[in-house]
């Protein structure tokens, strides 16, 4: 986890939003619409179970080592490599062979294929996708599963919140009891006010996180991280054509693990290690 003030604020803001959503759903929706009903207890249990999985996966994404390349015990002298770079304009940080190891002059170490240097963490990360302030950490080889789970449960929580919110508003404005009795205006005002705030929060972050989730899944299916895609676009490089493209299920298993598919939903299970994916040429500092 990086010591970044922006990242720390984003983590704090994330949990403030979660706590607020839980408060509004329990206090102003479930206890109002489903009071005295078995549906109230059921919805409260499901809603808080999703929150638990969201928080757990977020915590794993924050605290798990994304794949930081260890520094050598003995300093390595790269003076000849620097001279070669200055003389021939050939960068040892950008391999011609996608399976080559590269040199990071900022870390003064060799790094495996698909590893890139993060300016925020100030270290090289294996199969780095990007640095995400919402987890104050890089998304890399060892924590991408937890990051995607965090995105998935956030989208699920937003959708569930909207469903409960619209149900509450339907009951509020169309219930026969609400029309026939002198309903507490101040109570209704509080419910509507918190409901509007929750609606804005759920729509804004639901759409934003859904787009992030879509990008993550596409990067897996394309076998190309966000950093690698940036390299190709910035340098007008053509994607390396693979003679044999991996099936999508194989690519998913490299991220989520080689166990049963249903275990992909549980952040308490670590992804199994497997063979490395085909490497992409190029290196990029982000």
E-strand spans in the chain? 102-104, 109-111, 116-118, 123-125, 130-132, 137-139
CA 133-120-16 angle, 5° bins: 20
- Please, are residues 71 and 146 in contact by the beta-carbon 8 Å criterion? no
| 55 alpha-carbon distance from chain centroid | 12
- Please, are residues 21 and 198 in contact by the beta-carbon 8 Å criterion? yes
- Please, are residues 157 and 21 in contact by the beta-carbon 8 Å criterion? yes
132 is catalytic: yes
Grouping H, G, I as helix, E, B as strand and the rest as coil, residue 20 is helix
- Please, are residues 213 and 158 in contact by the beta-carbon 8 Å criterion? no
Please report, in angstroms and rounded to a whole number, the separation of the first and last CA atoms in the chain: 16
Given 104, 107, 118, 132, the catalytic residue: 132
Q: Which residues are catalytic, by number?
A: 132
């Amino acid at each position: 986890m990086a010591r970044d003030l922006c990242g720390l604020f984003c983590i704090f803001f994330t949990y403030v939003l979660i706590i607020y959503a839980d408060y509004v759903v329990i206090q102003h929706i479930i206890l109002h619409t489903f009071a005295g009903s078995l549906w109230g207890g059921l919805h409260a249990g499901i809603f808080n179970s999703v929150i638990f999985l969201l928080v757990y996966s977020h915590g794993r994404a924050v605290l798990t080592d994304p794949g930081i390349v260890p520094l050598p015990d003995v300093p390595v002298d790269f003076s000849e490599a620097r001279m070669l770079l200055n003389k021939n304009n050939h960068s040892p940080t950008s391999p011609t062979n996608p399976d080559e190891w590269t040199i990071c002059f900022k870390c003064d170490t060799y790094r495996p294929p698909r590893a890139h240097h993060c300016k925020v963490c100030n270290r090289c990360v294996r199969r780095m996708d990007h640095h995400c302030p919402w987890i104050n950490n890089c998304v890399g080889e060892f924590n991408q599963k937890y990051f995607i789970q965090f995105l998935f449960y956030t989208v699920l929580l937003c959708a569930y919140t909207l469903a409960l919110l619209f149900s509450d508003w339907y009951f509020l404005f169309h219930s026969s009891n609400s029309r026939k009795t002198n309903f507490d205006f101040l109570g209704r005002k509080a419910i509507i006010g918190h409901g509007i705030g929750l609606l804005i929060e759920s729509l804004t972050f639901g759409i934003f996180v859904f787009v992030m989730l879509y990008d993550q899944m596409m990067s897996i299916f394309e076998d190309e991280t966000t950093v690698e895609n940036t390299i190709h676009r910035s340098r007008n490089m053509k994607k390396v054509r693979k003679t044999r493209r991996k099936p999508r299920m194989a690519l998913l298993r490299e991220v989520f693990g080689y166990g049963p598919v249903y275990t992909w939903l549980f952040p308490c299970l670590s992804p199994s290690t497997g063979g490395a994916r085909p490497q992409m040429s190029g290196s990029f500092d982000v």
